[in-house]
Structure 1
Amino acid sequence: MAALPLAFVAAGGWYWVTGRRWASTENAYVQQNKVLVAPEVEGRIAEVRVGQNQTVKPGDVLFRIDDAVYRIALEKADGAVALARLQVEELRTRLKDAELKADTARNTLAFQEVQFGRQDKLRRTGNTTEAQYDSARHDLDLARQAVAEAEQGVADALVALGGDADIETDKHPSVLGALAAQNSARLDLERAVVRAPTTGTVSQVANLQVGQYIGSGSPAMAIIDTTSTWVEANFKETDLGHMRAGQTAELTLDAYPDVTIKGHVESFGGGTGAIFSLLPAQNATGNWVKVVQRVPVRIALDEPTSLPLKAGLSVGVDVDTGFVRPLPAFLRTALDTLGLGASPEKLAAK
């Protein structure tokens, strides 16, 4: 008969030691990244290539926007590039013409300087008239002015080439601008075909219809990224005292109650759920009632599972915190009597 009370003592000691080792919650759900797909250009839907709940991979075509406007814009940009290149070649020809005129003006100046020198000598000896002397000086002034104008023409032509007579055609600023516009037009044309950014399951396709006009940046459908799966468990704040990142967890899904999935604590939320609600609670009132808050804890799966996990499925989570409470003195005495020892770790192991 004495064994029965001792058994109750042992059971009570075991419960006391291990009672707070596991932190559990049913307020947990499967989470997967939800990617909203929005076109980067506007236009009318010309074709929808996917159906509801279809699995896609990166690069698969989802839908196509009528690209007639964007093809015309690209052709216009191609013409602008060709025109800009032609204009650069015209600037090169203009520079050569200006340099040729400058050389001619310098040669004329040299000739007029010689002519004026002769007239100056003849004037000193009285063998020329004042009219001939004035004419020679006037011609020299005109030649000097022509050289200045020709050199200014060379400078202007050089500036038009960006200050470099040997600049590559496609490095000229006007050509660079035209090429940028061409690349932008080509990119817009490519963006008229909307492709899947990730692997996942397509959702909300029913709202997308051929002929519908859609604006740039307007969400058209969603893709549930099946390559990123985790569990968000909302634990009570009273369960977090001994919970740490890396601790093991056991996951049980309501959809698959006979299967236990192994995981571990990955991270803790930056605040309680109430902090991030649309209308946070205002507690600075006289009618305040304390409510236990919950903190989101991210649980990572230890390895991929073959189960078709869906975002939003309910999950039961048990986290092994490894916490062992010390025994009260009377339980230690009773356990010593049973030969179990007073170590909580030994009791937990037994």
Structure 2
Amino acid sequence: MKKTLIALTALATLSFGGWKYWAEQDYVTTDNAYVKADITVVSPEVNGRVVELYIADNQWVKAGEPLFAIDNQDYLANVNIANAAIEVAKSALANNQSRIRLQQVSIEQASAAIQGAKANANLQHSERARFSKLLRSSSISQTAFDSQHTKAIEADVALKNAHLALEASKKQLDTLSAEREQLKAQLQQAESKLVLNTIALNRTIVRAPVDGFVANRQVQTGKFVQPGMGVVTLVPHNVWLDANFKETQLTHVAAGQSVEVVLDMFPDTPITGTVDSVTPATGAQFSLLPPQNATGNFVKVVQRVPVKIHLTLPDHLQGRVYPGLSAIASIKVTP
């Protein structure tokens, strides 16, 4: 009886072992797996001293909510300077417009003066011709004729001066028109500076670009910050798993296959997942110094390939699975 029991136990153990072995042939497993997320590092876009902090460590913030404020006195002054420059440019344009209108009146006056000078010149030339006939018949003296001749010459000079005055007025109008275009450009420049200074002023309030938990806060009231300085990290709810499988395990791995995941933090709560994609290169290719195997001391090393796995988290784990956690991932493959 005892021998029978031992034999049955051994048979059951062998059967279970065989079943487990064949069952495991449907899975590829790795413990080189870590939770990932699109972590956002927030940096200010303007420099200055932090005057107010609106957040606390590990606080949940929504996109658009203020994180901290930078001293805005300099930026406010720049906005006021830009507004003043706009007013100056507008006044200069208004003054230029008045001068243009005045110059247009001067052109009309010069045109009228030409008409008067031309009529007077015609009159004086007619009188000189009449005086010339009278002089030939000795009806007038030479002095009278010379006086009329002088008037005719003076009338010609006056007409020429009137034409020159009109030409000068037109040139002055062209100058004022060119000046107006320059003033318009100066106004546009002042308005652009106002836009830039207003943007800089608005950026003194640093806001969350995405939803997430505040982590790795390196900003506090009184600290001087500048563009490019990472001062707050935002960690979102959405996470996935990066599992690094050996290249020999990926023969039958494809997107859409089911995955069983066990997090080291929650070993008693298995999580299901789905293969999202396989990275089209080994992890070594993304290292700071990729391996150079064309050397004399070559040693073959099995490479690891990252596999992105979409996780289906149960409700009680929502918000409790953090980037960086370790896990064991098993992909069900079809040989």
TM-score (norm 2): 0.85
| Unmatched runs of 5 consecutive residues or more in structure 2 | 133-144
Deviation of 1:10 after TM superposition, in Å, equals 8.8
Task: Output the amino acid matched with 1:110.
Answer: Q
Report the 3-state secondary structure (helix = DSSP H, G, I; strand = E; otherwise coil) of the residue aligned with 2:305. strand
Higher normalized helix content (fraction of residues): 2
Deviation of 1:112 after TM superposition, in Å, equals 0.7
| 1:198 to 2:210 alignment | yes
Deviation of 1:21 after TM superposition, in Å, equals 2.3
Partner of 1:145: 164
Q: Distance in 2 between matches of 1:246 and 1:143?
A: 92
Q: Tell me which of 283, 295, 299 is aligned to 1:289.
A: 299
Partner of 1:185: 197
Q: Distance in 2 between matches of 1:112 and 1:247?
A: 101
Deviation of 1:304 after TM superposition, in Å, equals 6.8
Deviation of 1:64 after TM superposition, in Å, equals 1.0
Q: Tell me which of 43, 50, 57 is aligned to 2:48.
A: 43
- 1:93-242 equivalences under 5 Å are 93-126=98-131, 129-162=148-181, 172-205=184-217, 207-226=218-237, 228-242=238-252
Partner of 1:348: none
Partner of 2:58: 53
Conservation of the 8 A alpha-carbon contact between 1:44 and 1:211: yes
Q: Is the deviation greater in 58-67 or in 151-160?
A: 151-160
Deviation of 1:86 after TM superposition, in Å, equals 1.5
Partner of 2:32: 27
Q: Distance in 2 between matches of 1:198 and 1:249?
A: 29
Conservation of the 8 A alpha-carbon contact between 1:41 and 1:217: no
Conservation of the 8 A alpha-carbon contact between 1:269 and 1:296: yes
TM-score (norm 1): 0.82
| Unmatched runs of 5 consecutive residues or more in structure 1 | 164-168, 324-350
Task: Output the amino acid matched with 2:118.
Answer: E
Q: Is the deviation greater in 268-277 or in 298-307?
A: 298-307
Q: How many residues align?
A: 313
Identity %, equivalent residues: 32
Partner of 2:138: none
Deviation of 1:280 after TM superposition, in Å, equals 2.0
Structure 1's consecutive aligned runs of 4 or more residues displaced over 6 angstroms after TM superposition are 6-17
Deviation of 1:193 after TM superposition, in Å, equals 0.9
Task: Output the amino acid matched with 1:136.
Answer: A
Conservation of the 8 A alpha-carbon contact between 1:53 and 1:203: yes
